[in-house]
Chain A
Amino acid sequence: MKFAIALFSAAHAPSSRRALLFAQAALAGGHEIVRLFFYQDGVYNASAAVVTPQDEQDLPKQWRAFVTEHQLDGVVCIAAALRRGVLNAEEAQRYQREAVAVGAPWELSGLGQLHDAVQEADRLICFGGA
């Protein structure tokens, strides 16, 4: 089955961890993930600026490793990311900000990518809230 996964909660939220576990289980089960789309506070999961205490799960790091290993299409909503200060190098330059929080494997793009994934996938699975 082809899954699109949308994530709306911040990196420290339990639902973000559930999203990663679901994504890992989907691939392990032989399914395809057509796209990961991070929206609202979900954009923080793509931030390399998040520092997690040593005895806690470093979710942004785990997402990076997972997306890189499986060469997934990981899209972060650009409008949601800008609003929350989660910029890549290109946007930091555009808006003359010093802080760059996002790099490979993530791509900053628009909501059209969410709709495109909805069309392509058999199922859209959303993770948000607590």
Chain B
Amino acid sequence: MPKSLLIISRQAPWSGPNAREALDIVLAGGAFDLPIGLLFLDDGVFQLTAKQDAKALQQKDLSANLQALPMFGVEDLFVCGDSAAERGLETTGLALEEVQVLSAHDITALIDRYDQVITL
């Protein structure tokens, strides 16, 4: 039985390569068929904002990579509802439809369920 890994992604999508690099860990794990979860927390929730215009910042669109998650077999996708609310972000109509909204209390239990955790 492989060990499960939770990636907690806490960086906004356009504040440097961190968000993309967190996602790359998740996609690599999915490619190896490992049990991987991804939680968007703090400024990481901004990665889920729909209809971002990456071109205006001369960046590549990260949300295209997010859409690849289910294709890589990564279905355990979570967003912290409290982080979203603090930032005025509605949890309906996010860029990733499959994402489950969790409370801070749920997240405690979520982290406990995983063998290993990486926070980026």
Interface set of A (CB-CB < 8 Å, partner B): 6, 8, 39-40, 79-80, 83, 110-112, 114-115, 118-119, 121, 123-124, 126, 128
- Residue on A with the closest CB to B26? A111
Given known contacts A112-B32, A115-B34, A119-B3, A6 and B24 CB-to-CB distance under 8 angstroms: no
Given A39-B21, A40-B17, A83-B17: A115 touches B119 (CB 8 Å cut-off): no
B39 vs chain A, min Cβ distance (A): 15
CA distance A6 to B120 in the complex (A): 11
List B contacts of A112 (CB < 8 A).
28, 32
Q: How far is the CB of A18 from chain B (nearest CB, A)?
A: 15
Q: Would you call the interface of chain B mostly helix, strand, loop, or mixed?
A: mixed
* A-B interface contact total, Cβ < 8 Å: 43
Query: Complex formed: what's the CA distance from A79 to B29 in Å?
Result: 15
Task: Kindly state the separation between the CA atoms of A126 and B7 in the bound complex, as whole angstroms.
Answer: 12
User: What CA separation (Å) do A129 and B16 show in the bound complex?
Assistant: 14
Complex contact A115–B32 (CB within 8 A): yes
Most chain A Cβ neighbours within 10 Å, of B3, B116, B119:
B116
Q: Does B91 contact A (CB under 8 A)?
A: no
Closest to B2 in A: A119
Q: Which residue of B lies closest to A126 (CB)?
A: B118
Which of A40, A83, A118 is within 8 Å of B116, CB to CB? Answer: A118
Chain B contacts for A8, CB-based, 8 A: 120
From known contacts A40-B18, A111-B25, infer whether A126 and B3 are also in contact, taking CB-CB under 8 Å.
Answer: no
The answer for the CA separation of A118 and B7 in the assembled complex, in Å, is 12
Could you give, for residues 30-51 of chain B, a 1 whenever the CB lies within 8 Å of some chain A CB and a 0 otherwise? Answer: 0010100000000000000000
When distances are taken between beta carbons in the complex, the residues of chain B under 8 Å from A124 are 5, 116-118
What 0/1 readout, one digit per residue, does chain B (1-28) give for beta carbons within 8 Å of chain A?
0110100000000000110010011001
A3–chain B nearest beta-carbon distance, Å:
11
